[in-house]
Amino acid sequence: AQSVAQPEDQVNVAEGNPLTVKCTYSVSGNPYLFWYVQYPNRGLQFLLKYITGDNLVKGSYGFEAEFNKSQTSFHLKKPSALVSDSALYFCAVRDEAGRRALTFGSGTRLQVQP
Amino acid sequence: DGGITQSPKYLFRKEGQNVTLSCEQNLNHDAMYWYRQDPGQGLRLIYYSQIVNDFQKGDIAEGYSVSREKKESFPLTVTSAQKNPTAFYLCASSIPGRLNTEAFFGQGTRLTVV
């Protein structure tokens, strides 16, 4: 069965500093990994995805994520955080050997202080 | 504008009542999904459908029912058998059979039992 873990409920960072939101996964086959962002009382917006190829994936709004197969991780990063990045972030996985629906982590709240 | 429309945005239900949440998409996607979101628990899969007239239970299907009579529509009924229905419900769609495609989400329906 596929699963995702986001070990931090909340991440606090000062504006202008780099940020990292952690994600680890467990799948049977090759993983297809995604990051989404959610603003209050809204749906999820897609940020980026890893399929195959380059381990560093670039996405929307200056975000990027690093895929590490040996550590089964897919951490979200941004070199310089903005106050407007404050939101709830979800990591998700789809397993080529498993069901087609995405499995989500529990979410990490990012708080960027001015 | 292509997208997923969920209605209503807010819904109040009395104890013992069934309610139906609407989800319509014009993205021409065959696959549609319903997720439930509770604080600190991320998104949990209720039901999903890969094609018209077919659907499968997700992880928390008890107390819910769905239908898929049209490609564009995937309504979710929360029945009186669902003991704790207060939550934020999210509908999504994607292209089935393509593991590398992201899912697109609606803006959600917040259901409250009064």
Whose tokens are 């049209």? That residue is B70
Do A57 and A65 meet the contact criterion of CB atoms below 8 Å apart? Answer: yes
Helix (H, G, I), strand (E, B) or coil at B96: coil
Asked whether the predicted pLDDT for residue B1 surpasses 70, the reply is no
Residues A34-73 have pLDDT tens digits of 999 999 888 999 999 998 888 999 999 999 999 999 999 9
Residues B94-110 have pLDDT tens digits of 987 777 888 999 999 99
The pLDDT tens digits for B21-57 are 999 999 999 999 999 999 878 899 999 999 999 999 9
How close does chain B come to A68, measured CA to CA in Å?
18
Paired tokens of B22: 């609407």
Q: What angle do CA B93, B96, B97 make, to 5 degrees?
A: 155
| Closest chain A C-alpha to B17 CA, distance in angstroms | 24
| pLDDT > 70 fraction of chain A, expressed in percent and rounded | 97
Length of chain B: 114
Task: Note the Cα A13 to chain centre separation in Å.
Answer: 16
Q: Side chain identity at B113, as an amino acid letter?
A: V
pLDDT of residue B33: 96
Chain B residues with CB-CB distance to A45 below 8 A: 105
Interface test with B, best of A25, A34, A44, A103 (most B CBs within 10 A): A44
Whether B114 shows a pLDDT value over 90: the answer reads no
Q: Which residue type does A8 have?
A: E
Q: Is residue B10 predicted with pLDDT exceeding 90?
A: yes
